[in-house]
Structure 1
């Protein structure tokens, strides 16, 4: 009786005990089979030279297509044809090329061979393709790094790296007032730089300071999104050194060689810029010797200069005429007072300036409020009868 009761109240114990016996017996052939399979796979890997591990592959051959028999266009002629033509301060400019090369690969037929064709196709309306940087023909080695230079065929960085502009692509007539906006201080904050690149229209030009990390990557991102880029060069303010723009600042008290060396250092921080814009520099832009040193070197290297217009005593226009450098000057600082109301008022004043002269350039800093208000304003600019253009459209060889 006790055995029956024990069995009744311990049914699971007996099931587990019997199950263990069956499992042990059933696993023997399974384990043997597993060992055989694993051994076979190992032998295949060791003995068969198959880098694809047995994956299905397809082999196809493509013939080399000879270039057309017609004489190719010389490299320098192709560059000049595709590059935008710098405009005068009246805003005039010649149309830039609007075609891209596309490679088309046609799958092979019965023969198993395919064909490769390269054709020119029109870009989508409003498309503006910027060339990759650095272009080997437009750089030279220095002790600081790669310096921009004029190519042997005469191509200038100011034209090669500029954002193409075609007046015919705009819905407005060629006589419509043109407005350029230059945002400075990019590269100092990764978050603000990313925000400016993403939110501002591609026609807005971005000036990067020669500081910070991963500058070339940020510049490449800006240019891949269509933004023309300039170098924001630190220059001496009146209250220097109490107010210090940063390392390698151009100073009116330095020798020509010292300033040129500092300029070269800044120019090697990244590639792909059309020219320089002043970062601070209210005192330096009044120095005839300092400006002549700067502009002579910029002209020698095929670069332009944009004065932000903040210094009333600036002599940049006068020295630009003497040296013949491509130059433009800002009409006003959009975010001198960084509030929504004052920025909106400054943008309205910029429109008035453009209506009177036919062109105008405004300057702003990479502040969240500035980015937000300019991006909002730019959406309605064409409906008001204006054309938003990159800074290079307003620069010209000053007479």
Structure 2
């Protein structure tokens, strides 16, 4: 043992079976230093640090966020002013006469739905209504004229037929049977809306767009795709609204499809009503919910508005429909006006057509719904 203690360190020999002690820390430090040096040299000597990665250049053409209204509403209410320079009219062409005040100041050919270019704004979903550069609103331009009937002082009744456009043949038959003064509301999902809406307007009917709104039992009771929902960000609901507004053109306003929960929520309903007011559209409440805030919101945003008084074919039998129409007449005599809603069932169409022939003899005049919207 004494010899081992006095033997110089450099002269020691490893005993058989003993482990070799390697300087691991020094080795790791050396490797890290080499990696760092290599990285620095690459940055200095190579012009493209991302070279070797697969890349591809593409042109971005998406217009998803191109609409300024949808972008701005996320931060609060907005006011829209029509820009006459953004969508200039073709001054060489004059629009066909529509029979409404100010229509002769609109230029450009109507599209397949009868919508005028000065009253349209292009979006990523298609053209949607807007107020013209001269201040003419879609409500004024597309409403069926009824000034003489309003001035007559007689009780007025309006009938709105809902659910049109889904069944093309049934819709065309309804257009042919119903008197011109009836207002026709089209669902936004029909595959032949270009045909049916154009036929309705060519026959002299006033047209409304049905907008699906959230009911209390949603989604068990679902109005359809693009339904506006409570609790959604305002921009999300406005994106849906723009899609719906672009389904067809030539309508004077919108009518709700369901929506008891949505129309009772001021936070969710207000942005929609602000948009309708800014675009010059009317709003007709179908009268199905007493909790709807539509009257207050429409007044605050200067939206032409009225509320339906009666669902005519809640019981779709001929006798029940005629009885409901008699009740509608009584309301018109009592209040000076009344609005009834019917669905596009063949029995409902036939009953209303028959009933309308006797109104004149009763001293009651049939008018489009817009005539009763203030």
Task: Check whether TM > 0.5.
Answer: yes
1:256 is matched with: 234
2:302 is matched with: 324
Q: Does 1:149 align with 2:126?
A: no
Q: Match for 1:83 among 88, 92, 100?
A: 100
> Structure 2-normalised TM-score?
0.70
Q: Is the 8 A contact 2:113 2:248 kept in 1?
A: no
Give 1:318-397 correspondences, 5 Å limit: 318-396=296-374
The whole-number CA distance in structure 1 between the counterparts of 2:303 and 2:212 is: 19
1:111 is matched with: none
Q: Is the 8 A contact 1:79 1:155 kept in 2?
A: no
The whole-number CA distance in structure 1 between the counterparts of 2:295 and 2:370 is: 16
Q: Is the 8 A contact 1:84 1:162 kept in 2?
A: no
The whole-number CA distance in structure 2 between the counterparts of 1:80 and 1:325 is: 25
Q: Does 1:189 align with 2:167?
A: yes
**Cα offset for 1:80?**
11
CA RMSD across the alignment: 2.4
**Cα offset for 1:253?**
2.0
**Cα offset for 1:324?**
2.0
**Cα offset for 1:176?**
0.3
2:119 is matched with: 138
**Cα offset for 1:162?**
1.1
Q: Is the 8 A contact 1:182 1:361 kept in 2?
A: yes
Q: Is the 8 A contact 1:252 1:290 kept in 2?
A: yes
The residue matched to 2:211 in structure 1 has which SS? strand
**Cα offset for 1:293?**
1.0
Q: Is the 8 A contact 1:80 1:155 kept in 2?
A: no
Give 1:99-118 correspondences, 5 Å limit: none
2:73 is matched with: none
2:200 is matched with: 222
- Name the larger-Rg structure: 2
Q: Does 1:209 align with 2:201?
A: no
**Cα offset for 1:328?**
0.5
Q: How many residues align?
A: 275
The whole-number CA distance in structure 2 between the counterparts of 1:84 and 1:173 is: 16
1:303 is matched with: 281
**Cα offset for 1:214?**
1.8
1:163 is matched with: 144
Q: Is the 8 A contact 1:237 1:283 kept in 2?
A: yes
1:309-364 Cα offsets, whole Å, 9 max, x none, are: 01122221122122221100000100011111111111001001101110010001
The whole-number CA distance in structure 2 between the counterparts of 1:198 and 1:362 is: 20
Structure 1 stretches of 4+ with a deviation exceeding 4 A read: 78-82
Q: Match for 2:263 among 264, 282, 285?
A: 285
Structure 1 unmatched runs, 5+: 1-73, 86-95, 98-130
Structure 2 unmatched runs, 5+: 1-90, 105-111
